[in-house]
Structure 1
Amino acid sequence: MRFRIRHTTTDRYRRPVTLGTHRLLLTPRGDHDLRLLARELECEPEADLEWMLDVFGNIVATALFAEPACELVIAADILIEQLASEWPVFRIAPGAHSYPFSYSDDEAADLGALLCPIHDDENGALILWAKGFVLASPTDTLSLLKDIDAGITGAVAYRTRDEEGTQSPLRMLSLGSGSCRDIAALFIDAVRHLGFGARAVSGHLFDPDTTNGGSGGTHAWAEVYLPSAGWIAFDPTHQRVGSANLIPTAVGRCNGRVMPVTGGYVGSADDFAQMQVSVLVQPA
């Protein structure tokens, strides 16, 4: 299925400011089930764009601005084709069918920090919560991950949250609610405490039948690495497994490393007036 994505970020200032370097993660990652067919990225005022791949293979555009501005518009128009199955079959290595299992030495070395929880776990509360999903030992690995993916919304509810940053998992469990990036962060740290390699994903969701979690807009979810099967998408906000209708633009160790647009300006704090983000994802 083909999708067209239009992502526009508009920053407004009360007076002309000097725009700093902006890091843009707006181009979807091509892989075996997603093909990038066309890409346009425009900035107003005009920017000098430098392209690179970061350590995770994300397509990064660095925008350099030469003139002051009262308004900054960053607009991406993307055409992709997604081939992901609605009902995927994961070919997990026999030795990893049952949990607990051990990654090979090479896999553990390559996963590195993706095995380490990001947030503090005061008094072991989060690992205790995560272990509550392990009903037997050994148990089926994929079933365990699916149980955590589906069970998170029994502990926390989705809510739109415009504040910057990501809530810690313990705060999430305390408050009982959070955004999709908060829910993904809770899932990631929970499965890392159980020994899984996991990473954060940002991108877009297309699902006309779903009203929970910003369908058709920006979205955050997680991926877990299982031997032979590779990286498997888990979307705990919608209790889904697999990449169908998920369009990744960046992966990283944590949500803070995969934000679509980051950058600043030279001026006083009250120079900043407003930010608006508009996203449209539709079949092409």
Structure 2
Amino acid sequence: MEFSEPGSELTFTFTVRGIYFGIKGVDAFPLEPRAEEIPVQYTPDEWTDLAGYLRPHAEDPDGSVAAWIKSFVAGDQDRTTDVLRRILKTFRTDFGYRGRDVEGTQSPGETLRSRSGTCRDFVWLMIETLRRLGLASRFVSGYLYDAALDGGAVGMTGSGATHAWVQVFLPGAGWLDCDPTNNLNGGFDLIPVAIARHPGQAIPLAGSWFGDTGDYLGMSIDVAVRKISDVSDPSEG
């Protein structure tokens, strides 16, 4: 866009309305027997479709990520749903959320070393963890609805803004949502917008601008969830 003269304000407003059906918990759907324990046994057809989500993409030069991953399945700890819960709990208890303005996503090794990062950083580490355990997983960008914000309270980390989480494919259940930032699995609060095999393929906003250092550059998001019965015309969703 080119403008003929300077202006005091530039605002972009997007309104998106959709219908989304959530699932609560990793046990909401029974797994097929071949998915109950790690390694999950995918069929040849599944391998063909999931190949891009099974291959690790990040380097692990010092082996720290591999060593960390082994702790989740050490001994007789190979039940798939238990491993997922263990990973999510570890992010919640051992990692600290840290926002930053630097573009891009940290490497899994950096997130592991610092035990801190953004939701995208946590997701990328978890994806690489799941892939090295033989689980197909993909990156999801969207929004986190938090009922606490409706009353003006402090909500969950990432609520009221763009958010990222993981989807893991388990035969019998399909693609399950897992949010390492908030220790969530499944549920009705994660609203997907974009799905990709790598964080770089799901950039929420990109571009450049010229202005003074004191110019305000920000973004606000309001996410509201209503029951289907409250939607006057579902065809508009």
**Per the shorter chain, which TM-score range?**
0.7 to 0.9
Q: Distance in 1 between matches of 2:129 and 2:121?
A: 12
Superposition pairs of residues 161-172 of structure 1, within 5 angstroms: 161-172=100-111
Superposition pairs of residues 258-269 of structure 1, within 5 angstroms: 258-264=202-208
The CA deviation at 1:138 is 6.6
Matched, 1:277 2:224: no
Structure 1 stretch displaced more, 152-161 or 191-200: 152-161
Matched, 1:192 2:104: no
1:247 maps to which residue?
Answer: 191
Structure 1 stretch displaced more, 152-161 or 250-259: 152-161
| Alpha carbons of structure 1 residues 138 and 95: separation in structure 2 relative to 1, 3 Å | farther
| 8 Å Cα contact 1:251-1:258 kept in structure 2 | yes
| 8 Å Cα contact 1:192-1:198 kept in structure 2 | yes
Q: Distance in 2 between matches of 1:230 and 1:106?
A: 14
**Structure with the higher fraction of residues in helix conformation:** 2
* Greater relative contact order (CA < 8 Å, ≥ 6 in sequence): 1
| 8 Å Cα contact 2:139-2:195 kept in structure 1 | yes
| 8 Å Cα contact 2:77-2:83 kept in structure 1 | no
CA RMSD of aligned residues (A): 2.4
Q: State the Cα deviation string for residues 14-45 of structure 1 (Å, max 9, x = none).
A: xxxxx4xxxxxxxxxxxxxxxxxxxxxxxxxx
2:231 maps to which residue?
Answer: none
The CA deviation at 1:232 is 0.4
Q: Distance in 1 between matches of 2:71 and 2:51?
A: 25
The CA deviation at 1:137 is 4.5
Structure 1 stretch displaced more, 135-144 or 238-247: 135-144
The CA deviation at 1:274 is 5.6
| 8 Å Cα contact 2:40-2:135 kept in structure 1 | no
Q: Distance in 1 between matches of 2:48 and 2:23?
A: 30
Structure 1 stretch displaced more, 125-134 or 100-109: 100-109
Q: TM-score, normalised by structure 2?
A: 0.81
Q: Distance in 2 between matches of 1:72 and 1:111?
A: 42
What secondary structure sits across from 1:79 in the alignment?
coil
2:230 maps to which residue?
Answer: none
Q: State the Cα deviation string for residues 159-192 of structure 1 (Å, max 9, x = none).
A: 2222211111111121121111111111111111
Q: Distance in 1 between matches of 2:98 and 2:155?
A: 12
1:76 maps to which residue?
Answer: 14
The CA deviation at 1:252 is 0.2
1:152 maps to which residue?
Answer: 91
Q: How many residues align?
A: 216
| Alpha carbons of structure 1 residues 90 and 161: separation in structure 2 relative to 1, 3 Å | farther
The CA deviation at 1:246 is 0.7
The CA deviation at 1:237 is 0.4
1:232 maps to which residue?
Answer: 176
Q: State the Cα deviation string for residues 202-227 of structure 1 (Å, max 9, x = none).
A: 00001134634222221110000111
The CA deviation at 1:236 is 0.6
| 8 Å Cα contact 2:24-2:185 kept in structure 1 | no
The one-letter code sitting in structure 1 at the alignment partner of 2:90 is G
The CA deviation at 1:112 is 1.6
The one-letter code sitting in structure 2 at the alignment partner of 1:201 is V
| Alpha carbons of structure 1 residues 259 and 243: separation in structure 2 relative to 1, 3 Å | farther
Q: Distance in 1 between matches of 2:225 and 2:45?
A: 40
